[in-house]
Amino acid sequence: MSEEPIDPADIGGEDGPPVAEKPYKIIFEANKCIGAGKCAEVSENWELDLSTGIASPKQYFIDESELDENIRAAEVCPAKKDVGVIHVIDRETGDELAPDPHGDGTLSVDW
């Protein structure tokens, strides 16, 4: 588990546990987190560090059972003018499942 944001070039890459085990992953724009803590309210995977005022995921790679709460976290995150800085990626297709502001699965990171 890493505390570092994941490089977008890594999308669909070979890092992490097998895709069959953890079919989804999180890409987090930590530098754009405004510490609103909404993510932690809706998902156990997210924690707000009160000393830094920045949230972080406990796990970057998630399975089906953890998908919904992380999608919810991505959707409620108010950073970046409400687009959000939590991205949930389908590792198989490389598509962004949430927040997907473009509606076409492209990654909405803005490093």
Binding site for ligand SF4 (CB under 6 A): 33-39, 46, 48, 55, 77, 79, 85-86
Residue 33, both tokens: 């987190």
| Nearest distance in Å: CB 81, ligand SF4 | 11
Q: Which is nearer to ligand SF4, 39 or 89 (CB)?
A: 39
Instruction: Select 19 or 32, whichever has its Cβ closest to ligand SF4.
Output: 32
SS3 state at 70: helix
* Rounded least distance, CB 71 to ligand SF4, Å: 13
Least distance in angstroms from the C-beta of 37 to ligand SF4: 5
Q: Which is nearer to ligand SF4, 2 or 93 (CB)?
A: 2
Omega within 30 of 0 (cis) for the link into 17: no
Question: Rounded to an integer, what distance in angstroms lies between the CA atom of residue 23 and that of residue 21?
Answer: 6
Whole-angstrom distance, CA of residue 38 vs CA of residue 33: 11
For the chain, the first-to-last Cα distance in angstroms comes to 21
- Report the run of H or E that residue 88 belongs to, with start and end: strand 86-90
Q: How far is the CB of 18 from ligand SF4 (least distance, A)?
A: 27
